[in-house]
């Protein structure tokens, strides 16, 4: 595209969800018409609505739709699309897809098939990197055939080792074996997940670097031999080898290391003839040493943080390069400005070991894009309110990105944005992300890929707020109750009187077992909450909040604050700073009576294994009458492309099986019973 004229008239996006929407936005800005493809599960998806045209390509399972090369090409022929952007995942790193498109006369908006083949396969890429004198992690550069070979190689390398799928990415098909006894099961799970996710069960083994950091370099090349890098991203906050938080630049690197790492990434990309956007990933030591890990020959999920600090639209550059244009940038033109942080919003329950959650988004109100606090907000999403989170695909709902002049300001803006993001209908990981934003180790930049396991060894739990946080929640609950009461008093036909005024000003809010008494009144545009002892003192709140809105965004004593809200009887359920609490507001007499009400206790049941998430029963390892010990494998449930091994939590005897292999179960469905 030159002088604003589009070289491509129409492109097809061979993907779904947020990345499809992201690509459509850039294409529209460039004046390019877009074609969406969709499976049966995505018929009403946002990317289908956003595109100029849409083509149905098959059933919900990816193998019957988004992974079908023939159906994608047929959709191009139906619509006259000249080029295809693959996004990430699915067919994005399949050389056969790029070759098939070329044979059909359709441009692939991505690297050439030779580069994909050389770098997209983890085993071949490591061989290539080693031959090019690029530092690599010690390991066996070959396919593992069986348990015996895996054990021998793991013993030779030394534990811990990483068993990793050769194809694909995204944390799928990866297992860490810390000792010999874990190798066989790790190999089986990695191969099974790789086969399910990528149609390729080849795996290899390499040394797992202890206390590592994950740092990657964004590269950009054209078809004329020019390659540059756009700085680094740090992606060390991971869970099950899946990235959760990303940032640019990295708090680890200095200018010298950045230049060295960037130069190595560019050299590798040039050696393979790379001609699109791609990412060279490194495992880095705390001493800034680094080793080549792999190259992702596609657009990365976390590309927005690079865009925010460089001002470069990577999707636009990919389209221009695919159209044959030379890079418009030289290496010296790339300047990193400020700091960007991305949180991946997942449909999962952090209080249940991050198990997937599906359902309808009854509330979906992200913070407004643009200025917030000391920074700015960007939200990349592929959903809208009322959308269904499906069992068939990745559980990511959105990517919340903040940018600010400094890392501390970017973190503060991200924390504020997370607390302002109202999401209901499914469980989500925003309380966990919000808690990480406030974690001292995260704020200091002392990161490693073991951060989550080390800092949350017993999982994540929603704990009641305390101290200043509890006082802030109480103040917001009281202020919102006062605003709601003021609105109610304006309803026509009511009799005015002093009792109504007294009811509105003297209040008690109960948060867990803690009570806050206060008087509430308005002073101009502010609400003043004057706490009684022991929390004595006034708090001034300002906000444009109106009854019915699912989040509070405003200030408390001049400091920016946001909270997620859900109405409950006598108050609000409030999410803030990694906590979720019920704040119930009463008159003083109501508070006295509420304290005398008995608590309802839930009856426990430990005689059954229940499905912890909606999923497919892949296998059952026991039978009725069998004795099981603590830790024994009972079954495997697959959900959102991840296999979850369910184990015995106590010694028991299997009484009966209530599900069989191949069954699709809902959350809490009984799989088996014990005596």
Active site residues: 294
Q: Select from 158, 170, 88 the least CA-distant residue to 122.
A: 170
Q: What contacts 469, CB < 8 A, 6 or more positions away?
A: 576, 577, 579
In eight-state DSSP terms, residue 5 is B
- Give the residue ranges of DSSP H helices in 457-552: 467-489, 498-505
Q: Confirm if 200 and 194 have CB atoms less than 8 A apart.
A: yes
Residue 42, classed as helix, strand or coil, is: helix
Distance CA 400, CA 379 (A): 5
Q: Confirm if 313 and 328 have CB atoms less than 8 A apart.
A: no
DSSP secondary structure, 573-637, as one string: EEEETTEEEEEEEE-HHHHHHHTTSPPP-PPP--SEEE-SSSEEEEEE---TT-EE-TT-EEEEE
Q: Which residue has the tokens 């200025």?
A: 371
Distance CA 179, CA 408 (A): 39
Distance CA 550, CA 112 (A): 47
Crossing angle for the helix pair 430-437 and 407-420, to the nearest 10 degrees: 150
Distance CA 154, CA 138 (A): 11
Going through 256-410 in order, the beta strands assigned E by DSSP cover: 277-284, 290-296, 339-346, 348-349, 355-356, 359-360, 363-365, 370-372, 375-381, 388-389, 396-404
For 587: left if phi > 0, alpha if psi spans -120 to 50, otherwise beta; the answer is beta
Q: Select from 286, 270, 273, 272 the least CA-distant residue to 234.
A: 286
Q: Confirm if 449 and 212 have CB atoms less than 8 A apart.
A: yes
Sign of the four-CA dihedral 299, 304, 308, 313: positive
Q: What contacts 474, CB < 8 A, 6 or more positions away?
A: 509, 511, 516, 518, 529, 531, 535, 583
- Continuous segment of H or E residues that includes residue 163: strand 161-165
Distance CA 446, CA 491 (A): 55
CA 289 to chain centre: 28
Distance CA 381, CA 242 (A): 18
């Amino acid at each position: 595209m030159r002088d604003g004229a589009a070289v491509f008239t129409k492109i097809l996006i061979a993907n779904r969800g947020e990345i499809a929407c992201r690509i459509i936005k850039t294409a529209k800005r460039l004046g390019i018409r877009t074609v969406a493809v969709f499976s049966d599960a995505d018929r009403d998806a946002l990317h289908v609505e956003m595109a100029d045209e849409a083509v149905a390509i098959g059933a919900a399972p990816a193998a019957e739709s988004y992974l079908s090369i023939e159906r994608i090409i047929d959709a191009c022929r139906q619509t006259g699309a000249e080029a295809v952007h693959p996004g990430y995942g699915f067919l994005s790193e399949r050389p056969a897809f790029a070759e098939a498109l070329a044979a059909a006369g359709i441009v692939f908006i991505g690297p050439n098939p030779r580069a994909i083949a050389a770098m997209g396969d983890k085993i071949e890429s490591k061989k290539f990197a080693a031959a090019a004198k690029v530092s690599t992690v010690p390991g066996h550069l070959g396919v593992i055939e069986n348990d015996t070979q895996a054990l021998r190689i793991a013993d030779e390398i030394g534990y811990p080792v990483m068993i990793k799928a050769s194809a694909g990415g995204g944390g799928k098909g990866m297992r860490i074996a810390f000792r010999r006894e874990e190798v066989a099961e790790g190999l089986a799970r990695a191969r099974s997940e790789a086969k399910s996710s990528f149609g390729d069960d080849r795996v290899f083994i390499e040394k797992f670097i202890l206390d590592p950091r994950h740092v990657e370099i964004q590269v950009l090349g054209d078809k004329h031999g020019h390659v540059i890098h756009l700085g680094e991203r740090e992606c060390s906050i991971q869970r099950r080898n899946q990235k959760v938080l990303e940032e640019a630049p990295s708090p680890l690197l200095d200018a010298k290391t950045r230049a060295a790492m960037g130069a190595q990434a560019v050299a590798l990309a040039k050696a393979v003839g790379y001609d699109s956007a791609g990412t060279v990933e490194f495992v880095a030591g705390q001493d800034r040493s680094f080793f080549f890990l792999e190259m992702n020959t596609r657009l990365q999920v976390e590309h927005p943080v690079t865009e925010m600090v460089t001002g470069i639209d990577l999707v636009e550059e990919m389209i221009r390069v695919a159209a044959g244009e030379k890079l418009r940038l030289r290496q010296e033109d790339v300047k990193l400005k400020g700091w960007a942080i991305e949180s991946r919003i997942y449909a999962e329950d952090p209080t249940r070991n991050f198990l997937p959650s599906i359902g309808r988004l009854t509330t979906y109100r992200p913070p407004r894009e643009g200025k917030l606090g000391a920074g700015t907000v960007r939200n990349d999403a592929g959903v809208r309110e009322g959308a269904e989170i499906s069992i068939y695909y990745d559980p990511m709902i959105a990517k919340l990105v903040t940018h600010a002049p400094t890392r501390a300001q970017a973190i503060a803006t991200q924390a504020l944005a997370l607390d302002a993001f109202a999401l209901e209908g499914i469980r989500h990981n925003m309380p966990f992300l919000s808690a990480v934003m406030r974690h001292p180790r995260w704020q200091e930049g002392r990161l490693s890929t073991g951060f989550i396991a080390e800092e949350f060894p017993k999982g994540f739990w929603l704990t009641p707020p305390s101290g200043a946080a509890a006082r802030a929640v109480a103040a917001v609950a009281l202020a919102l109750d006062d605003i709601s009461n003021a609105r109610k008093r304006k309803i026509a036909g009511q009799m005015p009187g002093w009792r109504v005024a007294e009811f509105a000003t003297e209040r008690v809010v109960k948060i867990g077992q803690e009570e806050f008494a206060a008087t509430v009144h308005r002073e101009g545009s502010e609400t003043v909450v004057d706490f009684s002892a022991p929390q004595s003192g006034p708090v001034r709140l300002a906000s444009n909040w109106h009854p019915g809105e699912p989040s509070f965004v405003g200030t408390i004593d001049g400091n920016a604050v946001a909270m997620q809200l859900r109405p409950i009887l006598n108050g609000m359920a409030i999410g803030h700073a990694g906590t979720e609490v019920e704040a119930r507001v009463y008159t003083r007499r109501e508070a006295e009576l509420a304290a005398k009400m008995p608590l309802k206790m839930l009856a426990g049941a430990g005689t059954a294994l229940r499905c912890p998430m909606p999923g497919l029963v892949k296998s059952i390892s026991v039978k009725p009458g069998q004795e099981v010990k603590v830790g024994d494998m009972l079954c495997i449930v697959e959900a959102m492309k991840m296999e979850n091994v369910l184990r015995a939590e106590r010694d028991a005897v299997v009484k009966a099986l209530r599900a069989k292999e191949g069954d699709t179960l809902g959350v809490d469905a009984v799989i088996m019973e014990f005596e």
